[in-house]
Every structure is written in structure tokens, then in C-alpha cells.
Chain A
């Protein structure tokens, strides 16, 4: 069985973001980078599937500058067999359509039985790439999964809907699934596995080799949100802050009445 998991490297969302000089995305310096949280669930599920079926080969794909290889190494340490890096320093300028085109170009050649992606990225949050790749390949896609199982060429899964309701769905492979938070418990790579990961194959291909297509979306401007104001900001040491809060709750709410 051939399995692909697509991951993205994103900044830590707790970071302070500054708009870059071109005004089309964030400034990349001084950011701590990590694996997109949704993709950690995708990698974990792919590794679990590989362990379940035994005879499987699991590739992790990532698009970006050389910096993203660090995040790919984490996926290899979690249990992926090999890495396919699409080298592209300008991937942040591409829209979901352009990104999906690259993944589909690679996947078409490889005929994967199952493709895993996160349901969205933490920085863009478009939630498009997974479904677009599946549509480009002409295979079914199940999105926003919180439960996944596989047997005899069939995926059985649960999609998370609003208000705590789930939809039970199934489809035949080849298929693509997009993973929601909480799907499983992503493992931490162990030290021996981190060492082993260093020896695993990592192929880097220039983006130009995958016949990139132009983006369909144009970014006009990126700005910090307008401060809505109104909210009171309180600072101080814990004892002083606690007193301020109690005073505030007495004045503004009936919570302490």
C-alpha cells in the first residue's frame, strides 16, 4: 500500500506577527516554526495505518524553502519512510489552487492508495488544498475527520459537524482524507527514531519541475486587525491584579452579589 501525507510548516500561532515589506504576508524573521497542528494528526493517522497494514510505504510531502526540511524530519521521526520536498522559496505567494496543482502533479505519478492532509493550515486557514488535490486526481475526499478506520480497500470515517454532531461516511480507496484536531493523539518522536530519521531518504525537487500553474487569487493587502478598543487592559503583580479584578467584578457584574 502506498500512502502520502502532506504537511505544512507554519509559525507558532502565539507569535507576534508583523506584515512584511511587500505587504502581502507576514515577516518571516524572528518566528519559531513548527508543523501545522492539523498535519500532526494527519501524520499520526498515516503512521497508524502503515502499522496496521504492515506492507506499506509512507511518503511525507512538504512545499517551501529549505527551512521546511526541519519539519519534515519530525514527520520522518514519527514514522514516515521517506520525504519529498518541493523546493519553493515563494510558496507563501501561491494560493490553494497553485499549491494543490503541485501536489497533484506529484501524486498522479505515484498512484497513492491513500492521501492524508490536515483540514486546514493554521496560518491561512483556507481548508481547500486537500479537496482540490482529490478533485484534480479524480478520487473521493472525506473532510474534517475525527474518526478514521480502514479495512479491505474501504475507509470508514466520522466527519465533525457543528454542535457536537458527527456524520458517518465511507468511500473506497484510492481516496484522500483531511484531518481535524482530536482525530488521534499525535506521538512524540523518540530519540532513537529521531536518529533513524536522519538516515531516511529525502528527495528535494525544484518547484519548476512540477509545472506550476498561476494562482487564481491575488492578495491586495495584509494588515493587522483594527483594534476594536473598549476592552480594559489590567496589569500588575498577581495580588494587585486580583484586587483590581474583584473590584471590577463588583462594579460591572452581579457575579459577587
Chain B
């Protein structure tokens, strides 16, 4: 089997996901080539052919042109599988490629099981083993699911490619995250609020517990989207990645985007009414309780220590 790996480059930087793609290909025992719209000055570690389009000419976010470049390389390499990260770049580009090839697309692969690909469903409460019925398939990989234990090493053999077609989407620049707010990445203790707090007034319970533990409070995406807490408090893929000594997840079910932002915490304590919630997968301990009852009692007892 032969795979074509699609690496990512953004805002002047090569993103680290290429090592996950390489590891995935080697776990499949597949040959590979790589494709990147990026820069000669920042090449991924890789022993193989790298089809490189210059980002200066192609544009940072130009799905129409990236699609055409990639289709040209696919025509040359004839892979059976095109592999992208399941990221804002990958999930945007993958279906465009899949339809052009009339290929089955398998989104957010987390595991290879007996040669078949496994994807999560229903907030990771179920797993689906799926198979493409087409000769070529397009696959996106969940971030972190195929992180190698060591960097791949090597220098790619660069083959330059370009395309003349324009695109129908105009890219008008990036907007960086707002400065200011709290830097949770340096906090040693974090108590985070999830949807389970139920209403904004209950955020105070979480803040009080954080104070009793001499830590900071954070929040999961639904709490931020509801504007119950400031965006700078968000833990997860689109917020901050944190590595505290203690992470207390209160009423957080554990969507993958949240887990990705906190699973490297030294000790994770979850407080949740649902003992089957996916947060249990990364929790060292799960207290099965309604946070609205448990957290005030716990706070009081901690303050009395």
C-alpha cells in the first residue's frame, strides 16, 4: 500500500503534525510520499519524497489551489490513501479531495485495528470500525492519536510543484488570540467548569474551589460559548493547553478537544454525575456526584484544613 501524507504549514511555521502522519503510515506498514504547501526554509524531518508548493505563491489558505496541487501529485504518485491531520486545515481540504476522486473519506481516525480504521462517535462513547469501498480513500487523523515516541528524523527529497489555478476563496490574514487574561499554561492547580455547572451563577462554586486549592479556574468550551467565563479561561484545542500538577474537571464530559488540552496534567480528578463520561478515560479519580452538591462541601472542608 502507498500513502500520500499531507503536512501542514501556517502563519510562517511548519506544524508538528507531519510526524503523526509518518508514524501512521509506518503503523500501516505502507510506503509514503509527502505533500506540503510551505517553505523550503522549513522542511519536515522525513526520509522520502516531498512534493513542495511554495506558500508565497500559493497563499496560506487557498483551498481551491491546494486541492488542485494535491490532485496533480495524487495523479503522479497514485496512492491508495491520502492522509491529512483532522485539523482546521485537514477537515476543510479532505472532503474537497475526496469528492474530486470520488473516494470514501474516513474522518478522525484514532486507531488501526486488524488493518481497519477506527473512528469515534457520540462524544467517544462509541467506536466505529470502517472500511472504504473505493480503491483510493482519504483519511484524517485525530490529533495526538498517532504521536510517535521519537521524531522521524531524515531529510526529504524535495520535488517542487506549482499550479496556475486561482481559488474562489479570498484569505484576508490571521487574527491572533487576544492578549491579556490568564495564562493557565503556568498554573500548577486548575479547577475547570463544564456544561454541568448548569447556570452562570454556579461558576462561583468553581472559583471558590480553585481559591481553596490556591489555583486558577478554567472552563470548557460550552461555558465559554455561553459567555459564562472569559475566553482566556478556555482549556482545549482552541483554547489553552495546560499541564498542571492537579486538574479538577467539574461537570466536564470530556470532548476530545477538551481532553487534548489537559490530558498531560499530572493528576486529574473528575467530578461528574455520569461515571461513563469520556473524562473518565484520562481521570486518575472520578467522583460520581453532582458538582453543585459536592463542590461547596469540599471547598468548606479544604478551607477548614
Residues of A within 8 A of B (CB): 11, 13-17, 19, 26, 95-97, 120, 122-128, 131-132, 135-136, 139-140, 142-144, 156, 158-172, 181-182, 185, 215-225, 228, 230-235, 238-239, 241-246, 248-249, 252-256
Contact = CB atoms under 8 A, between A and B. Distances in A.
A238 B224 CA distance: 27
Contact of A220 (B107, B130, B288): B130
A219 B129 contact: yes
B298 A253 contact: no
Interface string B57-74: 000110010000000000
Interface in B277-301: 278, 280-281, 283-289, 293-294, 297-298, 301
Contacts of B77: none
Interface of B: 10-11, 60-61, 64, 86-89, 91-92, 94-96, 98-100, 102-108, 116, 119-134, 168-178, 189, 213, 215, 221-222, 224-225, 227, 231, 234, 237-240, 245-246, 253, 266-267, 269, 274-276, 278, 280-281, 283-289, 293-294, 297-298, 301-302, 305
Contacts, number: 252
Cβ-closest 9 pairs across A and B: A164-B177, A216-B104, A131-B95, A182-B225, A168-B172, A140-B168, A126-B107, A242-B298, A232-B285
A162 B238 contact: yes
B125 A217 contact: no
Contact of B280 (A124, A231, A242): A231
B108 A125 contact: yes
B267 A252 contact: yes
A127 B122 contact: no
A172 B174 CA distance: 20
A239 B263 CA distance: 28
Contacts of B237: 162-163
Interface SS of chain A:
mixed
Contacts of B253: 13-14
Given A17-B122, A128-B94, A254 B245 contact: yes
8 contacts: A13-B123, A123-B122, A126-B105, A143-B88, A159-B88, A168-B171, A219-B130, A222-B121
Given A182-B225, A248-B285, 8 more contacts: A125-B107, A127-B95, A131-B96, A162-B88, A167-B60, A215-B133, A220-B116, A232-B284
Given A224-B126, A231-B286, A255-B246, A161 B10 contact: yes
Contacts of A169: 61, 169-172
B297 A238 contact: yes
B87 A162 contact: yes
A96 to B, nearest CB: 7
B287 A241 contact: yes
B91 A249 contact: no
Contacts of B106: 217
A199 B281 CA distance: 47
A79 B78 CA distance: 48
Nearest to A158: B175
Given A218-B131, A225-B126, A234-B287, A128 B305 contact: no
A161 B124 CA distance: 22
A165 B11 contact: yes
Contacts of A16: 125, 276
- Indicate the member of B60, B96, B107, B189 with the most A CB atoms within 10 Å: B107
Contacts of A164: 176-178, 231, 234, 238-240
B132 to A, nearest CB: 6
Contact of B170 (A162, A170, A249, A252): A170
Given A135-B99, A225-B124, A232-B286, A242 B88 contact: no
A254 B104 CA distance: 50
Contacts of A95: 104
B224 A223 contact: no
Contacts of A245: 269, 285, 287, 298
Given A221-B129, A231-B286, A125 B121 contact: yes
A252 B284 contact: yes
Contacts of B288: 233-235
B286 A234 contact: yes
A181 to B, nearest CB: 5
B298 A127 contact: no
A216 B120 contact: no
